[in-house]
Amino acid sequence: MTAQPPPRHAIVIGSGLGGACAAAELRLHGWAVTLLHAPQAAAATDLPVGLMAPLVTAADTASSQLVRAGQAVTLDWAQRLLVAGRDWAPVGCRECNPPPPDAAPRPRRHKALPPPPAAGADWTQPVPQADALWHPRAAWLRPRALADALLRHAGVLPQSAAVAGLRQVGGLAAPSWQVLGRDGGVLAQAPVVLVAAGTASTKVLATANPDVAALVAAWKLARTPGQISWASGSSPPGLVHALNGHGHLIPNVPWPETLQPFGAPAPCLSAQAATFFGASYRHDDADDPPHPRAAEAHANRQRAMELCEAAGHPWQAPPAGELQHWAGSRCTSPDRLPRVGALGSHAPGLWALTGLGSRGLSLAPLAARCVATQLSEHTSPIEPALVIAWAAQRLSK
């Protein structure tokens, strides 16, 4: 009997949603996977709950197509691995377009949109006699619940490690990568390394060699802090679906009493539901990790009430001082597209999955599947033009 070759080995750096999805997909494609998790790392994956809704643009852009394709993958995983009503819920979403506070009237964008393309007709529908769109397949999810469920499903256990850099060894005949710790010691070694460490990705990748450092600097990825707020025991009267537009709002979410640490068992839910809304954006690094700010809490509350008014469900949200808040950072790119794929001739065997911005729930599972299929030489789940659109070798405009 012919002996089976040993499984190929990959190291994944980062156990947020992107890294967890990548590790799971690689394992399910037959790879041996070492997943390195930074201790006490703050991640957007720890967002209490997120809204996943289509991205609507006047033209069906690459971003819109990627989000739509990605949401199909995420919904499939949610239906297979998560508990509906606890970890996620397919509630649908009405996309409104209220004017921002104290702003002059602006053109309504939804009325100018063409009918959705055939491929997206089941994702987005116009609302008759209203400046709004309906997204029937929109859903809320808990990102950490999805990440943990994927790792359990694939049998991947994260290893705690503080990664400081990368070093290529082995020469052209058998190139390999060493992942180095802060003391210069080797934490792990494999022919393939995928860096999915959010805002820390560029710092880690830049240690590989000067060419890689120049490439990742040209991505111009940024750390973009923000926060969401929620009101326990209060929801807009009669509202059963999510709202999106100038901010977003998710009503009637079962909410645990406390946030759970990474890898903890599923929390016991309280009987009280909560309404989540946000999210703020700011472009400073004054606090790392970010902390909730009173001004952003007030802005989140105001946007939530405007969304409810526009949707025909007026709501007087509790005062900002009675709300709860969560602050975190997104890893964003100037063109709002992530960087996914091989770094090519700059560093054979080195891959990236980063820059997911506010679309991690929509894009991380798809991006991970694309990486796994490319590495395994299987058929990509998306068209070549979309692979190129978010390619890691592409520079920011």
Longest Cα–Cα distance of the chain, Å, equals 76
345 pLDDT exceeds 80? yes
Q: Please, which pLDDT band fits residue 123 given cuts at 50, 70 and 90?
A: confident
Tell me if the pTM is above 0.75.
yes
- Nearest Cα neighbor of 143 from 87, 104, 224, 200 is 87
Identify the weakest region by mean pLDDT among 30-44, 79-93, 105-119, 349-363: 105-119
End-to-end alpha carbon distance in the chain:
54
Convert the pLDDT of each residue in 326-341 to its tens digit: 999 899 999 999 999 9
255 pLDDT exceeds 80? yes
Domain residue ranges of the chain, discontinuous segments joined by +: 9-44+149-221+335-389, 49-141+222-332
Convert the pLDDT of each residue in 280-339 to its tens digit: 888 766 666 778 888 999 999 999 999 999 999 999 999 998 999 999 989 999 999 999
pLDDT given for residue 121 in this prediction:
55
144 pLDDT exceeds 90? yes
Domain at 9-44+149-221+335-389, CATH class:
alpha beta
Q: What is the DSSP letter of 358?
A: T
Residue 376 to residue 133: CA distance in whole angstroms: 39
Q: Please, which pLDDT band fits residue 239 given cuts at 50, 70 and 90?
A: very high
Name 231's bridge partners: 275
Token pair of 162, please? 């503080």
Main-chain phi, psi angles of 310, to 5 degrees: -65, -30
Residue 231 to residue 235: CA distance in whole angstroms: 8
244 pLDDT exceeds 70? yes
| C-beta of residue 39 within 8 angstroms of C-beta of residue 158 | no
23 pLDDT exceeds 60? yes
pLDDT given for residue 397 in this prediction:
52
Q: Please, which pLDDT band fits residue 175 given cuts at 50, 70 and 90?
A: confident
Domain over 49-141+222-332 is classified CATH 3.30.9: yes
Q: Please, which pLDDT band fits residue 125 given cuts at 50, 70 and 90?
A: confident
Residue 313 to residue 306: CA distance in whole angstroms: 10
| C-beta of residue 74 within 8 angstroms of C-beta of residue 397 | no
Q: Please, which pLDDT band fits residue 129 given cuts at 50, 70 and 90?
A: low
* Residue 293 vs residue 206, higher pLDDT: 206
Read out DSSP for 7-37?
PPEEEEE--SHHHHHHHHHHHHTT-EEEEEE
- The mean pLDDT of the chain is 87
Query: Residues 16-35, buried b or exposed e (16+ Cβ, 10 A)?
Result: bbbbbbbbbbbbbbebebbb
Residue 370 to residue 381: CA distance in whole angstroms: 6
